[in-house]
Amino acid sequence: MTTAASHPGRGARRLILAGLGLIFGGGLGFAVGRLIKSGVLNADGLGWSDLAAAAIAACLLAIGLIIGLASFSRKATGRMIDASEARPATAGQQSFYRQQAIVLALAGVMMAAPVAAVALLGEIPETMGIIVMLGIVAVFLVQTACNLTVWRRGDELMRQIISETGAVCFWVLQGLLFLWAAAEKLGLAPALSAWDIMTILMGFYLVISSLMSIRRGMA
Amino acid sequence: MKNRLKVLRAERDWSQADLADRLEVSRQTINAIETGKYDPSLPLAFKIGRLFGLPIETIFDDAQA
Its ipTM equals: 0.89
Domain that includes residue A186, residue range: 156-219
Q: What is the pLDDT of residues A117-166, one digit of tens each?
A: 988 888 888 999 999 999 999 999 999 999 999 999 999 999 999 999 99
- Which of A85, A155, A156 has its CB closest to that of B15? A85
Is A132 inside a domain boundary?
A: yes
CB A12 within 8 A of CB A83: no
Statement to judge: residues A142 and A201 lie in one domain: no
- Which of A85, A156, A218 has its CB closest to that of B44? A156
Q: What is the pLDDT of residues A94-117, one digit of tens each?
A: 999 999 999 999 999 999 999 999
Mean pLDDT score across all residues of chain A:
88
Q: Is B61 helix (H, G, I), strand (E, B) or coil?
A: strand
Statement to judge: residues A114 and A30 lie in one domain: yes
Boundary (domain end) residue, out of A123, A154, A185: A154
Contact A160 B38 (CB under 8 A): yes
Cα atoms found within 13 Å of the Cα of residue A120, Cβ hemisphere only: 10
Contact A215 B17 (CB under 8 A): no
Please report residues of A whose CB lies closer than 8 A to that of B48: none
Is A1 inside a domain boundary?
A: no
Per-residue pLDDT at A42 exceeds 70: yes
Statement to judge: residues A139 and A194 lie in one domain: no
Statement to judge: residues A45 and A81 lie in one domain: yes
Contact A217 B32 (CB under 8 A): yes
Alpha-carbon radius of gyration of chain B: 11
Is A27 inside a domain boundary?
A: yes
The structural domains of chain B, ordered by start, are: 2-52 (1.10.260.40)
Q: What is the DSSP letter of B57?
A: H
Contacts of A114 (CB under 8 A, 6+ apart): A53, A132, A136, A195
Contact A155 B32 (CB under 8 A): no
- Which of B28, B30, B39 is the best residue to mutate to test the A interface, defined by the most A CB atoms within 10 Å of its own CB? B28
Residue A187 one-letter amino acid: G
- Picking from A90, A95, A83, the residue whose alpha carbon sits closest to that of residue A12 is A83
- Which of A155, A160, A217 has its CB closest to that of B31? A217
Residues on chain B bordering chain A, Cβ-to-Cβ distance under 8 angstroms: 15-17, 24-29, 31-32, 35, 37-38, 40-41, 44
User: How far is the C-alpha of B22 from the C-alpha of B55, rounded, in Å?
Assistant: 18
CA separation (Å) from B65 to A80, B36, B42? 32, 11, 16
- Picking from A76, A72, A61, A70, the residue whose alpha carbon sits closest to that of residue A25 is A61
pLDDT score of A4: 43
Please report residues of B whose CB lies closer than 8 A to that of A87: 17
What is the DSSP secondary-structure string of A90-119? PHHHHHHHHHHHHHHHHHHHHHHHHHHHHH
Is A2 inside a domain boundary?
A: no
Please report residues of B whose CB lies closer than 8 A to that of A215: 37
Q: What is the DSSP letter of B2?
A: E
Q: What is the pLDDT of residues A55-75, one digit of tens each?
A: 999 999 989 999 999 999 998
Calculate the CA dihedral of residues A109, A158, A207, A163 and round it to 10 degrees: 100
